[in-house]
């Protein structure tokens, strides 16, 4: 006896077509079943799936508010340490050094926050969450892009906390609100691109601790070996060369000039181009590793 059964997608998750055919013999055993998604979901379906899964990540994030601890505390600690402990030695004036270093601290804290998404996704895989998502007729990239979209909350909170703390310490921008918004969006865009590296690490690493270790090891030379905390002209030759070609330096210079005045276009385009290159390379690698891992 043959019976054709068409499965229904999970509520809120759609697909173009889902054909599941089961064959039952006289003994009552069921044959093989197949799920077909010809051509993959449409762009609209993919965007809807991404939005729904981002909402799931947001709910999970707010159920565990301790995930915001580093986003709230880290900017405050970094500003206090760099300005009040090192500021006098670096520039002779804590106020002058605050004006110089705040854009760097803003970028550093946001970039360090990108490590958490790789750790969280690695944990989700071990807990079997992605096995359940894989059984649904959805785009294979939607769980990852949904998580990336959710991370914007953490990055945005870090940016706001850094700016408010800097303002309380005496930091003042010399440009208008449009430039301030552009600086925040530039940092956010670069972080969204960079986080695909840690997503890929989360897919290929066996332990969540390995993602955190590799992530921080990669970010240390990018952040401290840049123009965040000191001008490249004060550094010796080899280090100066690295600082000048470091994409984080161009990002820092662009954000600093957006906040305090100066040429922006060249550095901003370089930063966006680097971020786009990271996205083009590591997003496909992360999705491929996700398909293989799960």
**How does DSSP assign 167-229, residue by residue?**
HHHT---SS-HHHHHHHHHHHHHHHHHHHHHHHHHHHH-SSHHHHHHHHHHHHHHHHHTSSSS
Span 234-246, average pLDDT: 88
Q: Are residues 194 and 278 in contact, defined by beta-carbon separation less than 8 angstroms?
A: yes
The residue written with tokens 């986003």 in the block is: 71
State the DSSP code for 101.
H
Q: Which regions of the chain does DSSP assign to beta strands (E)?
A: 2-4, 21-23
Given a cut of 60, is residue 149 above it in pLDDT? yes
- Whether the predicted pLDDT of 169 surpasses 70: yes
Per cent of the chain over pLDDT 70 is 85
- CA separation for the pair 258, 10 (Å, rounded): 46
Residue ranges per structural domain of the chain: 1-40, 42-293
Mean pLDDT calculated for residue range 39-58: 78
**Whether pLDDT at 126 is above 50:** yes
Burial class (CB in 10 A: 0-12, 13-18, 19+), 281: middle
What six digits make up the tokens of 192?
A: 């969204």
Residue 4 main-chain phi, psi, to 5 deg: -100, 125
72-120: pLDDT as tens digits: 888 999 999 999 988 888 877 888 899 999 999 999 999 998 998 888 8
DSSP state of 7: P
Average pLDDT, stretch 58-63? 80
Find all residues with CB under 8 Å of 111, minimum gap 6, and list them.
190, 191, 194, 219, 222, 223, 248
Q: How far apart are CA 68 and CA 113, in angstroms?
A: 10
Average predicted confidence (pLDDT) for the chain: 81
Q: Is 23 helix (H, G, I), strand (E, B) or coil?
A: strand
DSSP state of 140: T
Contact 35, 163 (CB under 8 A): no
- DSSP lists the bridge partners of residue 6 as none
Pairing state between β 2-4 and 21-23: antiparallel
Confidence (pLDDT) at 77:
92
- In this prediction, residue 144 carries a pLDDT of 87
**pLDDT over threshold 80, residue 201:** yes
pTM of the model: 0.79
**In which band, very low, low, confident or very high, does the pLDDT at 66 lie, cut at 50, 70 and 90?**
confident
Each residue's pLDDT tens digit, 7-44: 444 444 443 333 333 333 333 333 333 333 334 567 88
- The separation between CA 99 and the C-alpha centre of its own chain, rounded to angstroms, equals 26
């Amino acid at each position: 006896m043959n019976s054709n059964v068409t499965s229904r997608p999970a509520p809120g998750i759609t697909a173009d077509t889902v054909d599941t055919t089961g064959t039952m013999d006289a003994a009552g055993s069921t044959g093989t079943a197949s799920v077909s998604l010809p051509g993959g979901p449409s762009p609209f379906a993919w965007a809807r799936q991404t939005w729904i899964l981002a909402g799931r990540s947001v709910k999970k994030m707010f159920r565990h508010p301790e995930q915001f601890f580093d986003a709230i505390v880290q900017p405050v600690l970094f500003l206090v340490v760099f300005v009040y402990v090192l500021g006098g030695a670096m520039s002779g004036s804590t106020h002058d050094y605050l004006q110089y270093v705040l854009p760097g601290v803003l970028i550093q804290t946001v970039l360090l926050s990108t490590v958490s998404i790789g750790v969280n996704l690695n944990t989700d895989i071990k807990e079997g969450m992605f096995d359940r998502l894989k059984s649904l007729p959805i785009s294979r990239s939607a769980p990852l892009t949904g998580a990336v979209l959710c991370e914007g909350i953490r990055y945005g909170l870090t940016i706001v906390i850094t700016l408010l703390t800097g303002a309380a310490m005496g930091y003042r921008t010399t440009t208008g609100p449009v430039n301030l918004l552009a600086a925040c969006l530039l940092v956010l865009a670069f972080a969204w691109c960079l986080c695909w590296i840690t997503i890929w690490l989360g897919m290929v690493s066996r332990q969540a601790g390995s993602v955190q270790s590799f992530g921080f090891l990669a970010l240390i030379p990018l952040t401290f070996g840049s123009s965040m905390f000191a001008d490249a002209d004060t550094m010796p030759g080899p280090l100066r060369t690295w600082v000048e070609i470091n994409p984080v330096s161009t990002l820092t210079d662009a954000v600093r000039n957006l906040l305090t005045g100066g040429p922006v276009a060249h550095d901003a385009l370089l930063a966006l181009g680097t971020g786009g290159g990271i996205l083009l390379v590591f997003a496909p690698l992360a999705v491929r590793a996700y398909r293989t891992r799960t």
